[in-house]
């Protein structure tokens, strides 16, 4: 059952990613990326990370992609605003050929890690919100506070950057 | 048939990350470059969660959550930069954002 779920979700994720980098319309590309994000949320659920599953849906699909779609519609991106890119497939093929040795290296490096049985589908409380919160507020308190300051700085910075300059 | 094992998750992460790099380098639309960056962050997140499951250690998921927070703040700043640049140039093509380029040489 989990094998079939994994196959379907990974197929969705890869299809969404390929559509995202190949589609010419910006809006279609963004909508294709939503498919990838939701499929990745399902994969987190398969990996028994139930809290990250919710966070992925709320933050990525709910906030980041919604913000991106909002900006695309707000700026009213038309076909004449976007570049033409007549030979993008050739470039993609070239970069894929260049990247193939790196992928092979990574794959062989991970394949040498010791094999463990029963990797997926273990029902316990691993990755639920209680365990994550315990670890977060005991061992990771300083990084957590730093992240909150970073979010505040990003909030102020985005308001300052997107504001219209007032005429003097 | 591929079983949902450790290596299949890792292969999916590697493929998604490579697709992100391909989109990042080959496209000229600023929005698609931004989405490729997000795709790379997502691939790294999936790898962190996979390794967290593999080692039975919760720290990987915490780092993945922090990556998500950084991605959210990056989204805010990047999109407001896009709004400012689009207002200035009326284009989403990165070849038009060449104000700092030195004219004449090269």
The C-alpha atoms of residue A30 and residue A159 are separated, in whole angstroms, by 23
Closest partner residue to B79 (CB to CB) among A46, A60, A68 is A68
Residues with Cβ within 8 Å of B17's Cβ and at least 6 positions away in sequence, in order, are B39, B40, B43, B44
What does the DSSP assignment read for A117-134?
Answer: S--S---SSTTSHHHHHH
Residues with Cβ within 8 Å of A149's Cβ and at least 6 positions away in sequence, in order, are none
The residues that bridge with A59 in the sheet, in sequence order, are none
The C-alpha atoms of residue A72 and residue A128 are separated, in whole angstroms, by 35
Architecture of domain A1-85: Up-down Bundle (1.20)
The C-alpha atoms of residue B68 and residue A116 are separated, in whole angstroms, by 28
Q: List per-residue pLDDT tens for chain A, 168 residues long.
A: 778 888 999 999 999 999 999 998 899 999 999 999 999 999 998 888 889 999 999 998 889 999 999 999 988 888 888 888 888 889 999 999 999 999 999 999 988 888 776 665 555 777 788 888 888 899 899 999 999 999 999 999 999 888 877 665
pLDDT > 90 fraction of chain B, expressed in percent and rounded? 54
Question: Cβ(A99)–Cβ(B21) under 8 Å?
Answer: yes
* pLDDT in the model for residue B3: 58
Closest partner residue to A52 (CB to CB) among B32, B65, B75 is B65
Report pLDDT digits (tens) over A145-154: 999 999 999 9
* pLDDT in the model for residue B4: 66
Residue of B nearest to A55 (CA): B65
Chain B residues whose CB is inside 8 A of the A161 CB are: 77, 80-81, 83-84
* pLDDT in the model for residue A34: 94
DSSP classification of residue A61: I
């Amino acid at each position: 059952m989990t094998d079939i779920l994994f196959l379907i979700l990974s197929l969705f994720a890869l299809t969404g990613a390929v559509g995202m980098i190949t589609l010419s319309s910006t809006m279609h590309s963004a909508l294709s990326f939503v498919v990838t994000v939701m499929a990745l949320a399902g994969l987190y659920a398969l990996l028994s990370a139930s809290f990250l599953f919710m966070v992925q849906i709320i933050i990525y699909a709910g906030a980041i992609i919604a913000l991106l779609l909002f900006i695309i519609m707000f700026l009213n991106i038309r076909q004449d605003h976007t570049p033409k890119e007549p030979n993008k497939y050739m470039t993609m093929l070239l970069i894929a050929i260049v990247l193939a040795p790196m992928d092979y290296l990574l794959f062989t490096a991970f394949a040498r890690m010791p094999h463990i049985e029963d990797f997926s589908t273990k029902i316990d409380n691993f990755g639920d919100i209680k365990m994550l919160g315990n670890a977060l507020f005991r061992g990771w308190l300083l990084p957590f506070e730093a992240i909150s300051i970073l979010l505040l700085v990003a909030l102020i910075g985005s308001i300052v950057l997107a504001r219209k300059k007032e005429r003097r | 048939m591929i079983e949902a094992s450790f290596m299949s998750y890792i292969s999916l992460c590697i493929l998604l990350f490579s697709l992100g790099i391909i989109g990042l380098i080959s496209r000229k639309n600023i929005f698609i470059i931004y989405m490729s960056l997000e795709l790379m962050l997502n691939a790294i997140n999936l790898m962190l969660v996979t390794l967290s499951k593999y080692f039975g250690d919760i720290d990987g998921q915490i780092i993945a959550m922090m990556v998500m927070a950084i991605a959210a703040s990056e989204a805010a700043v990047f999109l407001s930069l896009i709004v400012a640049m689009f207002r200035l140039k009326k284009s989403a093509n990165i070849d038009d954002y060449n104000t700092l380029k030195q004219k004449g040489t090269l």
